[in-house]
Amino acid sequence: MVERSNFSAKASKDLEIVEQALLGNEKAYAQLLNRYQDPIYFLLLKKIGNENDAEDLTMETFAKAFNNLDKYTPDYAFSTWLFRIAINNCIDFVRKVKVRPQSIDSTSEYHNSDNPNFTSPNPNPEDLLIKKQKSKDLKSVIKTLKPRYATLIELRYYQEFTYEEIAEELNLPIGTVKAQLYRARELLAPLLTNKYK
């Protein structure tokens, strides 16, 4: 393990914040988010070229980092570890986006068409029913969360508020909104997994 004296002042401060986060200090998580959110976002935006995808990948990066914070060892600066997670996340995303399955039954006459569409433009009634039921189930699961987390999920995913709009609506700093929304998703995931087993 590298001694703290080998780190820059910023890396040493990061290590102190990480140690606080590992002790359960929620403000420490928000501090890490505030320190690195913009650099991670702009790195991903440069690589991906899409603001929405870069924002989602940024939050996924922090989710992965926070879930695995106990695995971080200060052999390297926290920022190095975090940026590696972001790059790996980006690589995975690009691979998924590039894979576009093609039917082996396609004939050459359709290859010349710009966008052949063989499906009905109207949604399948069974799919609509399933989607409606899942939406009801999801809302009932969300209601089991603490009210502040349920409100955040409602505003972000049902009313499609931006982080800035949520911060304004709830009169909270944007870093707090992002940290609490991350926590809300973290609490929601196992509840949904159990429901849909």
pLDDT in tens, 67-114: 888 899 888 889 999 999 999 988 888 887 764 444 444 444 444 445
Q: Are residues 88 and 132 in the same domain?
A: no
Q: Please enumerate in sequence order all residues whose Cβ is within 8 A of that of 27, keeping only pairs 6 or more positions apart, or say none.
A: 20
83, exposed or middle or buried, with CB in 10 Å at 0-12, 13-18, 19+? middle
41 within a domain of the structure (yes/no): yes
Round to whole Å and give the CA distance between 125 and 34. 45
Determine which helix (DSSP H) or strand (DSSP E) holds 61, and give its type and residue range: helix 51-67
pLDDT at 196: 52
Q: Are residues 8 and 83 in the same domain?
A: yes
pLDDT at 132: 58
pLDDT (tens digit per residue) in 166-182: 989 999 888 888 888 88
pLDDT at 18: 92
The model's pTM is 0.52
Q: Which residue has the tokens 């106990």?
A: 70
Q: Are residues 159 and 90 in the same domain?
A: no
Q: Please enumerate in sequence order all residues whose Cβ is within 8 A of that of 174, keeping only pairs 6 or more positions apart, or say none.
A: 163, 164, 167
Q: Are residues 19 and 94 in the same domain?
A: yes
Tell me which residue range forms the domain holding 133.
127-192
Counted residue by residue, the chain has a size of 197
Q: Are residues 81 and 135 in the same domain?
A: no
120 within a domain of the structure (yes/no): no
Domain count, the chain: 2
112 within a domain of the structure (yes/no): no
Would the pLDDT of 127 be above 90? no
47 by DSSP, 3-state: which?
helix
Q: Are residues 24 and 92 in the same domain?
A: yes
Q: Are residues 90 and 152 in the same domain?
A: no
Smallest CA-to-CA distance from 149 within 180, 179, 189 is with 180
pLDDT at 87: 92
pLDDT at 108: 44
